[in-house]
């Protein structure tokens, strides 16, 4: 058996890791496409099933659509969140932080 140099061993290891990462990325792209193609139905008991996967950009729940109020349109304007229209925890921007232990649940707001 031939003696392997340290350089050859590191090169082979790097190639294996890169190949594994490419396969993982390809699987993720396939999985994202499959999840996006399935309709989002509200399950009977959302505590018994996993929710949908997270996305690159956090977004509000489908039932929430508050709009900002622009006070003076123009170069020196400000927009304000209509606090009176929000229910529950106040989150003025689309989403600041996400943490899900079993995917994003589909909960009927009614």
pLDDT in tens, 66-97: 666 655 555 554 556 666 776 776 555 555 55
SS3 at position 104:
strand
Q: What is the mean pLDDT of the chain?
A: 66
Asked whether residue 106 falls in the same domain as residue 56, the answer is yes
pTM above 0.85, yes or no: no
Q: How far is CA 9 from CA 1, 2, 17, 23, 76, in A?
A: 14, 12, 12, 21, 61
Q: What gap in Å lies between CA 50 and CA 48, rounded to an integer?
A: 7
State yes or no: pLDDT of 16 exceeds 60: yes
Asked whether residue 17 falls in the same domain as residue 60, the answer is no
Asked whether residue 90 falls in the same domain as residue 110, the answer is yes
pLDDT attached to residue 33: 52
Asked whether residue 21 falls in the same domain as residue 59, the answer is no
Asked whether residue 62 falls in the same domain as residue 91, the answer is yes
pLDDT attached to residue 46: 66
Domain span including residue 6: 1-38
Q: Residues 82, 66: contact at Cβ < 8 Å?
A: yes
Which residues are within 8 A (CB) of 36 and not within 5 positions of it... i.e. 6 or more apart?
none
Dump strand ranges (E) for the chain. 69-70, 79-80
Asked whether residue 88 falls in the same domain as residue 50, the answer is yes
């Amino acid at each position: 058996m031939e003696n392997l140099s340290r350089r050859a061993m590191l090169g082979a290891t790097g190639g294996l890791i890169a190949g594994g990462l490419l396969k993982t990325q390809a699987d993720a792209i396939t999985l994202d496409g499959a999840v996006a193609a399935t309709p989002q139905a509200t399950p009977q008991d959302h505590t018994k099933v996993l929710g949908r996967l997270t996305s690159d950009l956090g977004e509000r729940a489908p039932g929430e659509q508050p709009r900002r109020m622009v006070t003076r349109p123009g170069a020196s304007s400000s927009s304000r969140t209509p606090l009176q229209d929000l229910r529950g925890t106040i989150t003025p921007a689309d989403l600041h932080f996400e943490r899900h232990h079993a995917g994003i649940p589909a909960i009927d707001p009614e």
